[in-house]
Amino acid sequence: MNRIVHPIEQESFRRLRARLDTSHLPPLTRAVVERVIHSAADLEYANDLVLAEADLAKAHAALHAGAPVVVDVEMVAAGITRRETVCRLKDARSGPGLTRSAHAIRLAHEEVGPGALWVIGCAPTALEELLTLDADPALVIGLPVGFVGAAESKAALRESGLPAVSNVSEKGGSAVAAAALNALLYQPISPEETL
């Protein structure tokens, strides 16, 4: 994807790289780690993120081949640039044992089927619901934030064996989840090239 990088963004990444050496990371891993750190100005993500280059490579190919992108909330969708997303939160309803976010994930799953990229940056219950479905995702970016259920839902994601980007701590959020997806969007079709 050709995009014009603003000088402020260029300087921000220069400063990030001056404070943290990411040159040893494989290209897609480096792109995701740097963009997540950049979105939060939080260098701790370098040791908190859990991701695998092979998973990212498959997701990168699927994304650039047009796989659908599903998000849990509009704030994640707003942060994803140059790509349409599916968000069914406005259509969802809560009920006994089911949050509105979880229902939205069910509705989105019915719409997109297998092979989508799922970007969850807000609701741990959305990630928990996704793990109960037969989603067969290209990738799950599971970075919900919060003191209740966030770390546990991300641990469950890692235990599921699904291709994923997650982190160990309670932190996360819409901005970092969108940043992880944008890193894959911005990477050229030949991921050996760096931004």
Q: What are the catalytic residues?
A: 38
Cα–Cα dist 67/159, whole Å? 24
Helices and strands (H, E) in the chain, number of each type: 9, 5
Interacting residues of 48 by C-beta distance below 8 A, sequence separation 6+: 167, 168, 169, 171
Interacting residues of 54 by C-beta distance below 8 A, sequence separation 6+: none
Nearest in space to 20 (alpha carbons), one of 1, 3, 41: 41
Reported as half-sphere exposure (CB side, CA atoms, 13 A), residue 145 has a value of 12
Please state, as a whole number, how many other Cβ atoms lie within 10 Å of the Cβ of residue 48.
18
